[in-house]
Amino acid sequence: MGFLERHAEYVVLWVTLVVWLGIAASLLWMERRLRRVEQQMERPREQRRFSSGGQ
């Protein structure tokens, strides 16, 4: 018997943990991007027109 057959519950646990960490990381990344867009929208229109936004 191999490791995966004897310890299947640990494999499932690790896979689930990696998936949840990926979801959390992507949500944090989107939150940061959304915060930047919101800050750009709050600036006066003249400043927004001439700023490149770092991209």
DSSP 55: -
Q: Is the pLDDT of residue 5 over 90?
A: no
pLDDT digits (tens, 9 = 90+) for 19-49: 999 999 999 999 999 999 999 888 876 666 6
DSSP 43: S
Higher pLDDT, 55 or 24: 24
Strand (E) or helix (H) holding 9: helix 8-42
